[in-house]
Chains A and B, each alone.
Chain A
């Protein structure tokens, strides 16, 4: 989701649940801002549109089932949705019953780079579904995973987090999201800026890099007087915000969140 100046302001997935009904997800911290932004557009910019937005964040408990056996586990608690890869491919949405709870929304998306489902279930049944998933998946090794694991996996996948990997100047093209921008649409928020950015080759670019060897890096400016940078063998990795260099002295970029992952060890 880009603002009028083409800057990436949030990200999420929008599922079409019916002919005239959509469910939009946002980042956890961005939900209120996105709602306000949508209302501003509806009330000030397009008051003639017959569109209504209702926040339903509290109405759903959202559970991400991720991993190579996630389809098998979800199939154990869902029987009114065909979960096969052909019938329910990536980036698709279905509605159905999960662990006996109706009116659930299933999204075939994920943040971890593995086969993954997002289950959005009525909040009052959230704990029931959660406990059922863990019980039914015990023999599959199902267990809760935390944000740190999720963040490492998403970094290995190259999936950015708006606000951490982007800043107030990051356009969609700079974030590597140009493929998601539909410039052949007649009109949309930020279209002129996005079209301008799409034609440029000299803008900075976000990229996910795996460094098998210790990269050269400048510590943040306040610590630039350090005589040398600690090496990875000393337990260090480039801190967020530090400037990166390659060969010569000039900085060619800066680091955003970084993790020392099992794959990189």
Chain B
């Protein structure tokens, strides 16, 4: 038996502090599973989340997991660390479905606070108004030049966005996000 100690997970995201009214938190250590399947097959029926929306879903009686309709016929399931095997078990038998664990391939950041839309508006050209991207909306776009999947998921009434992106850019992207957040003026942060 080889004893090398427990493997240590390291996130590429560094500092996340950018003010009292605006928080950036790193959730890169969450399980992230991409599922691709036919839009009318058993997997789509089990997930029951349309394209461009997100919902908390309890699959096969398991705990609630965040399911995001990222593309037509494609979903990302986000859950706690170490849950990939459980997620695989909870998905229905579907030979036409492809399930890929991207826990280590994607970084996940959350921006929360009233000025979070203002922060993101300065980094991307997506319309972040309530009409276009209401709570529970999922969308994709270039943020600070990096292709990202975004989810608006407000927390206790506070505007909040989950940002999922390629791990390779995450260290730099986190710095850009925090830097942009610290430049949001205090009166805008309240």
Contacts and interface: CB of A to CB of B under 8 A. Distances in A.
A76 B2 contact: yes
A100 B100 contact: no
B7 A129 contact: yes
B4 A99 contact: yes
B5 A100 contact: yes
A48 B6 CA distance: 45
A26 interface: no
Interface string A185-225: 00000000000000000000000000000000000000000
B102 interface: yes
Interface in A63-105: 76-79, 99-101, 103
Contacts of A50: 96
Contacts of B168: 57-58
A127 B9 CA distance: 9
Interface string A214-243: 000000000000000000000000000000
A59 B105 CA distance: 3
Interface residues of A, number: 26
B100 A56 contact: yes
B104 to A, nearest CB: 4
A128 B8 contact: yes
A166 B1 CA distance: 46
Contacts of B100: 54, 56
Question: Which residue among A78, A79, A101, A123 has the maximum number of chain B CB atoms within 10 Å of its CB?
Answer: A123
Interface in B1-38: 1-2, 4-11, 28-29, 34, 36
A46 interface: no
A96 to B, nearest CB: 11
Nearest to B3: A100
B101 interface: yes
Contacts of A58: 104-106, 166-168
Given A50-B96, A56-B102, A58-B105, A79 B1 contact: yes
B148 to A, nearest CB: 14
B86 interface: no
B98 interface: yes
A60 B96 CA distance: 25
B103 interface: yes
Contacts of A100: 4-7
17 contacts: A54-B100, A57-B168, A58-B105, A58-B167, A58-B168, A59-B106, A77-B2, A79-B2, A99-B5, A100-B6, A123-B167, A125-B7, A125-B9, A125-B104, A126-B10, A127-B8, A129-B7
Interface of B: 1-2, 4-11, 28-29, 34, 36, 96, 98, 100-106, 166-168
